[in-house]
A and B are shown apart, each in its own frame.
Chain A
């Protein structure tokens, strides 16, 4: 299951990021590491980006990016 499939208000644990060095680093910088718990704070209109909360900060992720983050729902 990927982060893109989660609905508003759901929480999940990050398992892995499918992507290159740059993408993984980029996500780590914003506090998204494998093992971290994220929760979906909102979803955009017209299948827009999703807003997640992780380690006390909020990050907007496009659907494409969210689809590359494998998670297990909690």
Chain B
């Protein structure tokens, strides 16, 4: 099996290429227990079986944030036969800095020059032969959105992988090269072998001031560590700047040099997309558009969802009634069958109708490149809660699912920001909790009240952020975020993204929903839920909810969607309005919005932050949920 890794800077069109290579078969490997979040898939290229790995987008191989550290470690692990480096032709000189770092690693490499149409718009024409000659590796042009050139780049990569020929390492200025060589010679012995790196590469890393490598060398041999520091200082003196900046400056000027030789810059065409930001990132209009876009998304999701929820509910009520005519309603088989029907219909009726439009909308905004704009607009407000604009991206992903939201905190560079963002992101209602908000409050009390709950949620998250900032004082300098050019969203990328999520739901979550539904039915049959409800009485009592609801909260820890399906089960009816008052529905929904994250999220938190911090999150969220629930109950009782 040939293993190919896709490496490229964020927004270079890497995932579009990946999509064209492997189609819809890809699996996310961001499941609990694995360390790197990436997509991989097997495919046939030129009749050879290949595994294609889509690594997270990375600006460089310097370990600035966690995604970059992981990409670097993965490439270094020796499990990759060839690298397919996707470079954005419209940002060629910057992209080449990553290419140079990849060349230093010595893994067979093919450069895929993507977004040539975009480059043309910017007035940039690239001489491919010249570029290929300068880099010493094949360069294949592609326009990924339209699938042009993808086959060719794939077969070139396979060729590179089977040839096993290392590409030529880039050569820097003579005086710098002399220092690299001097240090490299000293590392030729055991040290380079212990790192499993070529001596030249290790020397470059040490001269770059890579903190990980320096730390390890210091532990292994203090003499070499001192030598590395001495030579880095020497580099600094040669160039009259900080030692660790010299190599990156060399890379920068080398990249510029190659760029100037291989590309010619003419006049750019100014299009709509360039003018769009004048509106969407405007001091005033930007926020209006942001509000309108978010409300629009919410409204469409609600409309589509409730359109399907109504008839579905009717249909499955009839099915349960029909079931009662076939078998006695107090038999164990009736319990199993009605649990089964409710589990199946629950997913079809309440969950997927809201989830799929939501996933589609989010994927659309993500692919078009709108999310970084949200980060820019929200930076000011995020500062109020001790974070910065980049944290908005995990937040928005949190509206989809908490698990990728926790993972996405890796784009933040400080551990403190990561943790605080993760805590707040899991308090954002994920799509599963959205089904509870829309399917219960939205459906029975109307979309305006449901929308109001989202606003309440934002306030609570903001207050929670304030509290977190008191506990963990901020240390980070602030926002550094690329604002990429808008893209016409690719239908292919969006549908495959939604399909991967839907498939994961159908395979992993649906059986759980059905199983949970049957178990609850049996609990009821055997009167076990009475004891569970008794155990949860303190909570249901404090919230002023019927005791029968207690058990739904336990199931909700496994999957949040279960709370809604179980609620109908536990109350024995889908016409909730006849059993619960409006205040009770709101109180219940608010509690569900904040209390303990689901099991998958807990595992993810544990994996990312360790046991103690996870326990802290569980306590904090449950405490918040109780507090908010009790306040809601109080307000409801005053109004009524």
Q: Which residues of A contact B (CB under 8 A)?
A: 19, 21-31, 33-34, 41-49, 51, 55-65, 68
Residue interface mask B58-100, A partner, CB < 8 A = 1: 0110101000000000000000000000000011011001000
**Known pairs A26-B64, A56-B90; A64 contacts B478 (CB<8 A):** yes
**Complex interface: chain B residues within 8 A of A57 (CB):** 91, 94, 482, 484
Tell me whether A45 and B287 are in contact (CB under 8 A): yes
Tell me whether B94 and A31 are in contact (CB under 8 A): yes
Residue interface mask B35-73, A partner, CB < 8 A = 1: 000000000000000000000000110101000000000
Interface check B248, CB cutoff 8 A: yes
Interface check B398, CB cutoff 8 A: no
Closest chain-B Cβ to A20's Cβ sits at a distance in Å of: 9
**Complex interface: chain A residues within 8 A of B64 (CB):** 22, 25-26, 29
Residue interface mask B264-288, A partner, CB < 8 A = 1: 0000000000000100011110010
Tell me whether A48 and B281 are in contact (CB under 8 A): no
Interface check B375, CB cutoff 8 A: yes
Partner of B59, one of A30, A47, A51: A30
**Complex interface: chain B residues within 8 A of A33 (CB):** 248-249, 252
Closest chain-A Cβ to B388's Cβ sits at a distance in Å of: 5
Interface check B170, CB cutoff 8 A: no
Tell me whether A61 and B241 are in contact (CB under 8 A): no
Tell me whether B379 and A28 are in contact (CB under 8 A): no
Interface check B413, CB cutoff 8 A: yes
Extra 7 A-B pairs, beta carbons < 8 Å, given A21-B211, A44-B380, A68-B477: A30-B94, A33-B249, A44-B377, A51-B281, A55-B91, A55-B93, A64-B477
Tell me whether B122 and A56 are in contact (CB under 8 A): yes
10 shortest interchain CB distances as A-B pairs: A62-B478, A62-B479, A29-B59, A64-B478, A48-B380, A45-B283, A58-B483, A60-B376, A49-B379, A60-B481
Tell me whether B60 and A60 are in contact (CB under 8 A): no
Interface residues of B in 176-219 (CB under 8 A from A): 209, 211
**Complex interface: chain B residues within 8 A of A49 (CB):** 376, 379-380, 389, 478-479
Tell me whether B94 and A23 are in contact (CB under 8 A): no
Tell me whether B122 and A65 are in contact (CB under 8 A): no
Interface residues of B in 362-384 (CB under 8 A from A): 372, 375-377, 379-380, 383
Tell me whether A60 and B389 are in contact (CB under 8 A): yes
**Complex interface: chain B residues within 8 A of A26 (CB):** 64, 413, 480
Q: Which residues of B contact A (CB under 8 A)?
A: 59-60, 62, 64, 90-91, 93-94, 97, 122, 209, 211, 241, 244-245, 248-249, 252, 277, 281-284, 287, 372, 375-377, 379-380, 383, 388-389, 413, 477-484
**Complex interface: chain B residues within 8 A of A58 (CB):** 277, 482-484
Tell me whether B211 and A28 are in contact (CB under 8 A): no
**Complex interface: chain A residues within 8 A of B252 (CB):** 28, 33
**Complex interface: chain B residues within 8 A of A21 (CB):** 209, 211, 244
Closest chain-B Cβ to A9's Cβ sits at a distance in Å of: 12
Closest chain-A Cβ to B508's Cβ sits at a distance in Å of: 36
Most B Cβ at <10 Å: residue of A23, A47, A49: A49
Most A Cβ at <10 Å: residue of B277, B283, B478: B478
**Complex interface: chain A residues within 8 A of B383 (CB):** 62
**Complex interface: chain A residues within 8 A of B93 (CB):** 31, 55-56
**Known pairs A25-B60, A56-B91; A63 contacts B377 (CB<8 A):** no
Tell me whether A29 and B62 are in contact (CB under 8 A): yes
Tell me whether A19 and B284 are in contact (CB under 8 A): no
Closest chain-A Cβ to B115's Cβ sits at a distance in Å of: 12
Tell me whether B477 and A23 are in contact (CB under 8 A): yes
Closest chain-A Cβ to B118's Cβ sits at a distance in Å of: 11
Closest chain-A Cβ to B91's Cβ sits at a distance in Å of: 5
Tell me whether A62 and B62 are in contact (CB under 8 A): no
Tell me whether A61 and B94 are in contact (CB under 8 A): no
Tell me whether A45 and B480 are in contact (CB under 8 A): no
Tell me whether B91 and A62 are in contact (CB under 8 A): no
Q: Can you give 24 contacting A-B residue pairs, CB < 8 Å?
A: A23-B477, A29-B59, A30-B59, A30-B94, A30-B480, A31-B94, A33-B248, A43-B283, A45-B284, A45-B287, A48-B379, A48-B380, A49-B379, A51-B277, A57-B94, A58-B483, A60-B372, A60-B379, A62-B383, A62-B477, A62-B479, A63-B478, A65-B477, A65-B478
Partner of B482, one of A25, A59, A63, A68: A59
Closest chain-A Cβ to B483's Cβ sits at a distance in Å of: 4
Tell me whether B379 and A62 are in contact (CB under 8 A): yes
Closest chain-B Cβ to A2's Cβ sits at a distance in Å of: 12
Closest chain-A Cβ to B391's Cβ sits at a distance in Å of: 11
**Known pairs A21-B211, A30-B482, A68-B477; A62 contacts B281 (CB<8 A):** no
